[in-house]
Structure 1
């Protein structure tokens, strides 16, 4: 592979923003991809994938390169040189690239690969926490979460069947595969920009991980019901609920962030979902108005996001132990408060994209032991680990409020 100067400079600039300025990797990559209109799809892929790879393996590469944060420009070039060397890419004779000790890099890589926190490139505290909560499964799980996530589509059944969507995408030269056990899902055979397709513009599909697609189904919604999606965000699961309800009944999509609900409105228009009513949560009154009035409630709770590290590798560097303590308290409060919206005889799903029992089944057990949970029974729950499913790590619990 021949390295092109303008592409590599873009990677270095992106890494500087992510590591030294605290910017989010996905936003930085989005911006970088608009940097030069002359870049083809291969150029853009190189920039995006290289940035994500170096972010994912930051600790390992920094250890090999013997550099520490904050990274100077020179240090970022050294990280890049480690990345290239480990991939067998010949480094050009540029002044920014110091002479690279290839043999020493490979030797250090072999040595550090025997120690999990370096091999899987994670902070010490996260390695200790993962082992404490998942035991022997932690090694396999963090290894799976360090793989690049597959691109999964969800057919919008308000407009098209999954089988028909597959044919439509074939006509746009995009090959997909069915995934057993996921009725609306298609997996891309090769990564490509699906957002530029006519099928996407016409609202025939959404990009949504296979594990995430199980949540709406788990809630057991029926056409004509009143459903509340309490942490709707930009509405990935809300749109799926609308499709499962065949646009009949009402979905109240709530969130504390109005800008996310604006995005949901835009997506709902494209998807042809007409039964969604976005509502910003401005105070506890907005929740109290709905006490005892919902047939179904979805709590897709804020969480550590440890189940989606394969698509958000910078999260492991931004996440701090104190945030985990705070988020667990938030989860507990939300579950206690929002569960009151469920009618007697109605159902509730508590879900997270975390793999930690302390954010998942422990939260449900704690809720059921409290006064607010006395009315509820756990019907079933599902724990999804990435190394077992090949998709995001997720948790979902279905609870029913007694008649």
Structure 2
């Protein structure tokens, strides 16, 4: 591979914004890709994937390159040189790469690869927490899986098309996909491609949604005609899936504390042809109390550490702090206590997170079930999805039923 100066500069500019300014990697990369209209698909892929790669392996590359934060541009070029050397890419004769110790880089990599926190490029506290909660063997496998590049998975919108029809339409555009066993509405891209520019996307035939995330709506056991509340709906990935499973019949009430996310949900619902969704911003507890004992199904897709989705959000490794996890666990329990009261007698509730930590998952459910509010519920089943076993994001979901 030959390195092109303007593409490498874009990567360095992006890393400056992510590491030093605290910007989110996905937003930075979106902006970088608009920088030069002459860039082809390969150029854009290089910028996006190289930036994500260096973000993912920040600690390892900084340790090999012997650089410390905050990183100045020389430090970032040094980390870039480490990345290129380990990829077997010949460094061009640029001043940024003068005196790069190629053999020393490979030697340091071999040495550091024996220590998990360096090999997997994670903070000390995260490594300790993962081992404490999952055990040494499982955590070692899980964090390795969470450092792999995520596949692109589509969820077919069955309100508008079928899996077979969408696969054929994309094939005509040279976008090859495959079915996934046990994921009834999923198509996996065989190669990464910008599917957002297709007419199929613009016409609402699919959404991009990881396979593990697609399990949540299915777990809720919805049926056409029900009243369903999605309590932490956000921009509505799971809400839209629920709408398709309900065949546009019945009512979905999508709640969130962020009104701007619900505006995005409305826009997506229109594109998807999902007409049974009503959005309500949670501006006070009145919004919740009005729904007490009214819902056949309630989904609590709770705010969490996001440790199960590090493959698609590698910068979260550097933004996340241990005190945030403690705070979010308190929030998860408060939400469970309050939002569970919307479930009717004989109705069902799903509590879900995109975390792999038992303290955010089954421990929260256990605590809820032994509480005053939770004694009205019985545990039906749960699904602990680990990335190293599923090949997709880490997720958790528990199904509870309200008794008489």
- After superposition, residues 295-374 of structure 1 pair within 5 angstroms as 295-374=296-375
In 1, Cα distance between equivalents of 2:13 and 2:212? 34
In 1, Cα distance between equivalents of 2:234 and 2:99? 48
In 1, Cα distance between equivalents of 2:362 and 2:392? 20
| Superposed displacement of residue 96, structure 1 | 2.3
Aligned to 2:8: 8
Aligned to 1:17: 17
| Superposed displacement of residue 172, structure 1 | 1.4
- After superposition, residues 137-156 of structure 1 pair within 5 angstroms as 137-156=138-157
1:167 aligns with 2:198: no
- After superposition, residues 221-260 of structure 1 pair within 5 angstroms as 221-260=222-261
3-state SS in 1 of match to 2:280: strand
3-state SS in 2 of match to 1:351: strand
- After superposition, residues 1-400 of structure 1 pair within 5 angstroms as 1-135=1-135, 136-400=137-401
In 1, Cα distance between equivalents of 2:323 and 2:304? 13
In 2, Cα distance between equivalents of 1:103 and 1:147? 25
In 1, Cα distance between equivalents of 2:184 and 2:4? 43
Kindly report the root-mean-square deviation, in angstroms, between the aligned alpha carbons of the 2 structures. 0.5
| Superposed displacement of residue 97, structure 1 | 2.3
CA contact (8 A) 2:204 2:271 kept: yes
In 1, Cα distance between equivalents of 2:32 and 2:42? 14
3-state SS in 2 of match to 1:371: coil
3-state SS in 1 of match to 2:96: coil
In 1, Cα distance between equivalents of 2:184 and 2:15? 39
Mean CA deviation greater in 94-103 or 258-267: 94-103
CA contact (8 A) 2:78 2:96 kept: no
| Superposed displacement of residue 26, structure 1 | 0.3
CA deviations on 1:189-216 (whole Å, 9 max, x unpaired) are 0000000011101100000000000000
In 2, Cα distance between equivalents of 1:98 and 1:49? 24
In 2, Cα distance between equivalents of 1:168 and 1:87? 36
In 2, Cα distance between equivalents of 1:221 and 1:86? 49
Q: Which runs of 4+ in 1 moved over 4 A?
A: none
In 2, Cα distance between equivalents of 1:321 and 1:98? 39
In 1, Cα distance between equivalents of 2:106 and 2:274? 53
In 2, Cα distance between equivalents of 1:153 and 1:381? 24
Structure 1: segments with no counterpart, 5+ residues: none
CA contact (8 A) 2:232 2:302 kept: yes
In 1, Cα distance between equivalents of 2:69 and 2:63? 11
CA deviations on 1:324-352 (whole Å, 9 max, x unpaired) are 00000000000000000000110000000
In 2, Cα distance between equivalents of 1:94 and 1:10? 16
| Superposed displacement of residue 163, structure 1 | 1.2
3-state SS in 1 of match to 2:93: coil
CA contact (8 A) 2:293 2:344 kept: yes
Structure 2: segments with no counterpart, 5+ residues: none
In 2, Cα distance between equivalents of 1:98 and 1:148? 31
| Superposed displacement of residue 164, structure 1 | 1.2
| Superposed displacement of residue 298, structure 1 | 0.2
3-state SS in 1 of match to 2:166: helix
3-state SS in 1 of match to 2:373: helix
| Superposed displacement of residue 381, structure 1 | 0.3
